[in-house]
A and B are shown apart, each in its own frame.
Chain A
Amino acid sequence: MIDKLMNTAVFKWIDDRSNIGSIIREHVTEYPTPRNLNYMWNFGSLAITVLVLQILTGIFLAMYYKPSAAMTIGGYTVAFDSVERIMRDVNFGWLIRYMHAVGASAFFVVVYMHMGRGLYYGSYKNPRELLWIIGVVILLIMQGAAFFGYLLPWGQMSFWGAVVITNLFGAIPVLGDFIGQLLVGGFAVGDPTLNRFFSLHYLFPLLLAAIVGGHIHALHVVHSNNPEGIDIDHDKETIPFHPYYTIKDAFGVCVFLLAYCYFVFYNPSAGGYFIEVDNYVPANNLQTPAHIAPVWYLTPWYTILRSFESKLLGVIMMGASLAILFVLPFLDRSKVRSARYRPVYRQMVILFFVAVLTLGYCGHASATPVLKVVGQIATAVYFGFFLLLPFVHKFEKTKPEPEGI
């Protein structure tokens, strides 16, 4: 069908002036892909799917959403009211909003799995360092977009989450207060904050779309890693992206949509994980909720922040925990990529995954002395992984890698 389409006069006219045909052949239909990729390699296409869903639903939500903290009757605001109007009065507004809210969590599930895949199979290593670094930039922008977006309904957790996070900037010496005020648009979280967060929440996905383009370009220069983690023969050991991976990705997207639609239609708040209970209470700057916690996808970093007595140190370590991802490719000196052939690294990376999940749990639950210690241990394991990495190759006996795939 694609061949038929590419032989039409209209396509030829465009092709003569844009070279689109060879771009499609080089990057889609005939793009050489390792033939042994397992299902962990589906998460890239899933991430793009969710990004598109988020942008589309977001555009429609923005048609009805009103970023204003002006008070209306009953202690509510124009912003909160407009979200409830979307939920109640806009045709299928509830569907669009739940898709967007569930989509935010789905995006992080998919991207964390995608990154976990990269970690386990050594996809970040030479020659794919830049590909990994662009990916970390994408993660940071996603976290920013999620944080800005969470303020918009102007519920209790929106408000107090923003207060806690913007206050963190105050811990930075000298410039802290200035940066905090610039972000908040004044001296306290209020109407100007809501307006600039809305603006940034619309901007960040556009940046994401552009940088995802860069991520794919970088991928197509160095090509996909594979579960064996070895360099492959590009003539003999690859298969064209279409139809092999187009159909496999389509199948993966469908499986993903099953899970996604289950939550959208049957469990959109996921018991407070996707939409927190307190966010159905309108923002009130005089009443602090009993327990302020970010949404699950930010809780690992929140735990690292809380694991240090000094606020400044906590902020620095939280920043470091994300920044260290940028240098990961240069910390790992082993020539072997895949954890399948690295017994020590394999144990380390599994322990690292457990540490991240533990950090996530500790950040979500109410703080208790025991959980605080657990969080501190998990923080130590998190950083320990990166600190040990430069030395592993000195004592690790790697298993022999296969000749081909």
Chain B
Amino acid sequence: MKHAWSSLVFATMIVVMPAAASASGGGAHLEEANISLDQETLRKGLEVFTDVCMGCHSAKYVTYRGLMDYPEIGLTREQVDELRGDKALLSGLLTELTPEDAAEFYGKAPPDLSVIAPGRRGGGDYIYSLLIGYDHDPKGEIEDGNYNKAFPGNRTAMPDPLAWLDHDPEETADLEEQARAVSSFLVFIGDPHQLERKAIGRWVMGFLVLLTLVLYLLKREVWKDIKKH
């Protein structure tokens, strides 16, 4: 009974928190993207990003230099030079599309994609679902290319980048793989030190477990003469 109230508080938090998370998530059902941050996927994702996404979108916080420096991508200087052309090594991955032209073509400027994964509920799964979410509007109100199952409100200004709508069934696996790779790439650049963070975390947690154990034993030793209550 002594700790009944504190247990109650914790129990309530544990029950309430996931419930609150799902309540605030909302939106459409998302496909599972199977995000993976291995080098092969990330390089493929980078390729899709530079070939397709960068037609309209930038990732201004990711520099060409970064593509060499992040070991997860680890391009060589030659590969980067080929990719960047005459752009500076420290330049971000910037689109050639000006905001004015974008506004004229699509009605609004496409968002920068550097922090798009942490900035959307569902993260990588959301991006993946969006890319393979183009469909015909069952109500026939939204034009083909602007109707998307995963987009909140279903009307998106982004025209089907992977040409998913009415694609040849033989291409499904390839398109899904492209969507998965670019979603993984966007998850990676959203927080480029995430793998390093988790790797260091193992050592930190390991050390703390040992230290906690030692301090617990020390505490028990110091307290052994004090009357138990």
Contact = CB atoms under 8 A, between A and B. Distances in A.
Contact of A239 (B121, B204, B226): B226
A206 interface: no
A351 to B, nearest CB: 11
Interface string B146-190: 000000100000000000000000000000000000000000001
Contacts of A349: 5
B24 A76 contact: no
A369 interface: no
B216 interface: yes
Interface in A233-271: 239, 243-244, 247-248, 250-251, 254-255, 257-258, 261-262, 264-266, 268-269, 271
Contact of B9 (A95, A250, A357, A361): A357
Given A243-B222, A272-B21, A254 B112 contact: no
A37 B94 CA distance: 60
B113 to A, nearest CB: 10
A400 interface: no
Interface residues of A, number: 61
A271 B19 CA distance: 12
Interface stretch (B28-36, B39-47, B72-80, B193-201): B193-201
A84 B20 contact: no
B227 interface: yes
Contacts, number: 136
A75 B23 contact: no
B93 to A, nearest CB: 11
Contact of A265 (B20, B197, B215): B197
Interface string B207-229: 01101100110110011001101
B205 to A, nearest CB: 6
Contacts of A175: none
Given A277-B118, A280-B118, A271 B9 contact: no
Given A75-B111, A84-B61, A269 B118 contact: yes
A95 B20 contact: no
B13 interface: yes
B24 A254 contact: no
A273 B201 CA distance: 20
Contact of B119 (A38, A85, A281, A350): A281
A405 interface: yes
B158 to A, nearest CB: 16
Nearest to B21: A271
B60 interface: yes
Given A244-B222, A251-B212, A265-B204, A73 B60 contact: yes
Contacts of B66: 88
Given A35-B226, A254-B211, A353-B5, A366 B24 contact: yes
Given A87-B193, A273-B17, A293-B24, A116 B9 contact: yes
Given A265-B197, A265-B198, A258 B205 contact: yes
A230 B169 CA distance: 77
A350 B5 contact: yes
A250 B212 CA distance: 9
Contacts of B21: 271-273
Nearest to B153: A290
Contacts of B219: 247-248, 250-251
B215 A254 contact: yes
A150 to B, nearest CB: 16
Contacts of B13: 357
A310 interface: no
Nearest to A364: B20
Contacts of A360: 16
A368 to B, nearest CB: 9
Contacts of A261: 201, 204-205, 208
Given A35-B226, A116-B6, A258-B208, 7 more contacts: A74-B111, A88-B61, A94-B191, A116-B9, A247-B215, A254-B208, A258-B212
- The list of the 10 closest CB pairs from A to B, nearest first, reads A265-B201, A280-B119, A74-B112, A254-B212, A251-B215, A280-B118, A280-B115, A94-B193, A365-B23, A251-B219
Interface of A: 35-36, 38, 40, 73-76, 81, 84-85, 87-88, 94-95, 98, 113, 116, 120, 227, 239, 243-244, 247-248, 250-251, 254-255, 257-258, 261-262, 264-266, 268-269, 271-273, 277-278, 280-281, 290-291, 293, 339, 346, 349-350, 353-354, 357, 360-361, 364-366, 405
